[in-house]
Amino acid sequence: MMSTSFNRHVVLIVDDVPDNLAVLSDALDESGHIVLVATDGAGALERLQRITPDLILLDAVMPGMDGFETCRRIKLLKHVDQIPVVFMTGLTETEHVVKGFQVGGIDYVTKPIRPQEIVARIGAHIRTARMMSQARGVIDAGANAVIVLNANGMPLWQSNKASYWLEKYFAVGRDQAGITKLPPRLQSWLNESLALQQHGGQAAEPLIVTCDDGVLSVRLERNERTAELTLLLNEKPPVQMQAERIAASAGPQLDQYRLTPRETDVLNWLAKGKTNRDIAEILGMSPRTVNKHLEHIFIKLGVETRSAAVGMAIHHLHAGF
C-alpha cells in the first residue's frame, strides 16, 4: 500500500464534475500537494484499498452512491477510518450539514468552490490530523485503551485498542464498535456508574468482562475541569488477575506465618508475577535484599521455590484463612 510518509501531503478528490476536479487539482498541486482523483464513490473506495491519503475532499452530491454513503463506508475501513474527510456541497440546509458530520465528516465547504479557502482548510486539517495521529499512537502504546465521552456519557472518540477490545469482549462488529454507540452491557454499567456519581459522589466499581484468553476491566474517570468522561479499559491474562486477587489478600491470609511487613510486600509482588529485579525497583531495595527476603519467606512458609510460595498463598485463599 502506498505510503504518505514523505513531506508532500496526499489529497484524494472525489467529484463527478470534471471542471471541479481540474480547478481543485491545479490549486492543490500549486500549493505542493500530491493530488489523486476519483469520479464516484465506488472509485474512491477502490483507490483507498491501495493508497492512504492525508485528507479526502468529497463531493456530497454524486450520481449513484452519494458522498454521505461514501463517507460512511470509508469510516468502516480500519486502515483509513481516521483520515479527515471534508465535504464539498451546495446543500447548506442544516439537515445536510448535520448528516455530513454524522457520517464522519470533519468539515464542509460550499460551492461555488473557492480554491484558496479549500487549500487553507486542507492544510489546517492535515496538521491537526497528524497531531491526533501522534497522540493516538502514544495512547495505543500504553497499557490502557481509551474511550472519551462527553459530559452526558455519549462517545466522542476511542483508541484503536479500545475498538479491538470492544469487538473481542462484547462481540460487536466493526460497524457497531464505532464512536456513536456503546455495547448494551457497557452502556448499562455506565448509566449506573453515572447515577452513583450524581447522587452520592461514589466511585463506581470497575466493570469486569471475561473471555477464554483474557479479563477486561473498565473504569470511569471524570475530568473535573472540562466535565468530560473517560472510560479506561485494561486487559490482563486470567492468571494475572488471579495473582492480583491473591496478592491483595495475601497479607491477612498469611498472618499465622509471622511474615514481616516487608516480606509480605515481597510476596505480594511475587504473586503478581514480578521478577526479583522488578520487586527491587518497586520497593526501593537491591535485588540481593529481595533474595534474602525470599529466603526468609520460603523458610517461614515451609516451601523451596517461588511457585510453591505463590501456591501456598492460593491454598490459604481458597481455604478461607
pLDDT in tens, the chain (321 residues): 443 444 578 999 999 999 889 999 999 999 999 999 999 999 999 999 998 899 999 999 899 999 999 999 999 988 888 899 999 988 777 888 888 888 999 998 888 888 888 999 898 888 888 776 655 555 555 556 888 887 778 887 788 788 888 888 987 754 444 455 788 999 999 998 888 877 766 667 889 998 877 888 898 887 665 567 888 898 876 655 555 555 555 444 555 677 787 888 888 788 777 888 888 877 878 888 988 988 888 888 888 888 887 777 655 544 443
Spell out the SS3 assignment of 136-172: HHHHHHCCEEEEEECCCCCEEEECHHHHHHHHHHHCC
pLDDT of residue 198: 75
Distance CA 301, CA 253 (A): 12
pLDDT of residue 242: 53
Distance CA 25, CA 115 (A): 9
Query: Which H helix or E strand runs over 108?
Result: strand 107-110
pLDDT of residue 252: 47
Q: What are phi and psi of 263, to 5 degrees?
A: -65, -35
pLDDT of residue 203: 65
Position 24, amino acid: L
155 upstream amide cis, omega within 30 of 0? no
pLDDT of residue 140: 54
pLDDT of residue 215: 86
pLDDT of residue 67: 93
pTM here? 0.48
Burial, 218: exposed, middle or buried (Cβ in 10 Å; 0-12, 13-18, 19+)? buried
pLDDT of residue 37: 94
For the sheet with 55-59, list strands across it: 34-38, 10-14, 55-59, 85-89, 107-110
Closest by CA position to 8, among listed 58, 52, 54? 54
pLDDT of residue 175: 47
pLDDT of residue 68: 94
pLDDT of residue 230: 85
Distance CA 143, CA 163 (A): 14
Position 84, amino acid: P
Q: Which residues contact 80 (CB under 8 A, 6 or more apart)?
A: 48, 52, 53, 74
Q: Are 55 and 80 in contact (CB under 8 A)?
A: no
C-alpha cell at 175: 460497524
